[in-house]
Amino acid sequence: MQLQETKSTTRIIDLLPDILPSQVIRITALSATELAVQIKERQFSSVQVAEAFCHRAAVAQQLTNCLTEIFFADAIEQARNLDHIYETTGELVGPLHGVPVSVKDHFNVKGQPTTAGYISYANHAVRSQDAHIVEIMRNAGAVIYAKTNNPQCMMVLETVSNIYGRTLNPWNTALGAGGSSGGEASLIAQRGSPLGIASDIGGSIRVPAAYNGLYGFKPSGKRVPTSGWECTMAGAESITAVAGPIAQSVQDLELFLQVTLDAQPWLKEPLLALPWKSQTKHLETQKLTVGLMLWDEVVMPHPYITRVLREIAESLRQAGHEVIDFAPYDHKRAWDEILLPLYFTDGGLDIKQTLAAGNEPMLPSAEKLLSDPIVKHRSTHEVWKLNVDRDVYRMKYLQKWAATAQASRSGRAMDVLLCPAAPLQGTPHDVKPWWGYCAQWNLLDYPSGVLPAGRVLGDDAYPQGYQPVNDLDRENAALCESALMLKKMNDEHIKALAFSGR
């Protein structure tokens, strides 16, 4: 089939309706929550749903290179077994019965290899069991059918490796899909998956979600299971890596977390024994105090981002919520003196040794990060001191958050903080953007979500005479989605606000 020459071949997401059967389009237009209902009501069988998403994922792979492992035949067999159970017993296996779920490559899937973007890992045997979160999804009835690309070394905001190559952004293939969960985001944006398992230690769920117009959520540490994933720097726990969802809707994010925590994962690995308590209905009637942070005083977001934030703030005011300004606290110092040093206390040695074991070159994205003079080996005592600095900074930020009660009419501290997910909407290939807008909340271990909020307009522009405040800001301005943050362990509230504020 020839693509229409009038349509942009960089915005390939617009091409999909021309090359997909109507039944595939109809099924893949549904969210994970909607699919679960449609399967329960026998509108579609699990096999029909699996076939549709396998079809669309295959097309997405050819257009954007988002997949690493494809096991469609196994997925159809999983779906066939689920249909048989439903037909013979009248009972669903679980709340995700027949819903396809894609998996970021570094999570183990039984019977499949896990490379995590490293050539040396490609020589490892296929995995004999699922990662814990994959097991939970499967036990809830999910159909596991594909693994998605993540970058070399994981700690970068573009998805490219020497094994699988570069994943493209379907909205503009001249831009990256974000990282490190860029394969998930690219696939889900093309509706080749309704729900994906991803991970985040510095923005790896939220930046790809933002770049691809999706919903993503980074939980607080030790709530969602992470056992059974493969990565370098395992055991480095000063900054907690987490697993979480990327999806097409707020309801799907909550479905993922409800299913996960209903499984009581703390009985199998050391996690916080905190069941999921949905706040959606409660917050639909509650008037909230919302903090607004237009920028972090390090890198000014592109003008369309600050415009959209102001529009959201005004919409919240019109809905009866109180919006107050929130000034960031020392974000640049926190990055330079605490966060970046704690990310690489070994100076990047584990990553370099893993690359050497596979005789593979370090890619530009990783090279730019690890060549930062702040990245160096730290002694045990230096790490202890950094951990103390981290905890002191966390306490001061909590105090600053609590002090917002003095600025609100209600006398309550802000319930949620509205701010950019990134200072720009997508980066050209091999460009290293400022990730402080997302990584800040990893440092604080606050739950953080991202949701699509607007589009770029032709008249978006920096204020006349704007002068960048530093080199990072200058680089971002030359390249001329919003995120929500909450205090630690208030994970339930973030999606409720996104739901009630839409």
**Is 163 flagged in the annotation as binding?**
no
**Is 300 flagged in the annotation as binding?**
no
Residue 15 lies in a domain: no
pLDDT digits (tens, 9 = 90+) for 52-88: 999 999 999 999 999 999 999 999 999 999 999 999 9
pLDDT digits (tens, 9 = 90+) for 445-502: 999 999 999 888 878 989 888 999 999 999 999 999 444 565 666 787 655 444 333 2
Residue 469 lies in a domain: yes
- Average pLDDT rounded to a whole number, residues 205-209: 98
Q: Any catalytic annotation for residue 40? A: no
Residue 361 lies in a domain: no
Q: What is the pLDDT of residue 187?
A: 99
- Average pLDDT rounded to a whole number, residues 78-100: 99
Q: Any catalytic annotation for residue 46? A: no
Nearest to 400 by CA among 418, 413, 419: 413
**Is 448 flagged in the annotation as binding?**
no
Set 204, 249, 365, 448: catalytic member: 204
Pairing of β 165-166 and β 67-70: unpaired
Residue 284 lies in a domain: yes
Set 180, 186, 193, 199: catalytic member: 180
**Is 312 flagged in the annotation as binding?**
no
**Is 203 flagged in the annotation as binding?**
yes
Least confident of 250-259, 283-292, 405-414: 283-292
Q: Any catalytic annotation for residue 204? A: yes
- DSSP SS3 for 176: strand
pLDDT > 80? residue 318: yes
Q: CB of 488 within 8 A of CB of 315? A: no
Range of the domain at 430: 20-266+277-337+373-500
Tell me the C-alpha to C-alpha distance, in Å, between residue 463 and each of 48, 304, 437, 470, 481: 52, 12, 21, 17, 20
> Domain containing 469 — which CATH number?
3.90.1300.10
Task: Round to whole Å and give the CA distance between 67 and 57.
Answer: 8
Set 31, 46, 104, 500: catalytic member: 104
Residue 222 lies in a domain: yes
Task: Round to whole Å and give the CA distance between 219 and 449.
Answer: 8
Residue 358 lies in a domain: no
**Is 395 flagged in the annotation as binding?**
no
Task: Round to whole Å and give the CA distance between 293 and 328.
Answer: 7
Residue 435 lies in a domain: yes
Q: Quote the tokens at residue 48.
A: 């029909």
Q: Quote the tokens at residue 22.
A: 């109507």
Residue 350 lies in a domain: no
> What is the domain count for the chain?
1
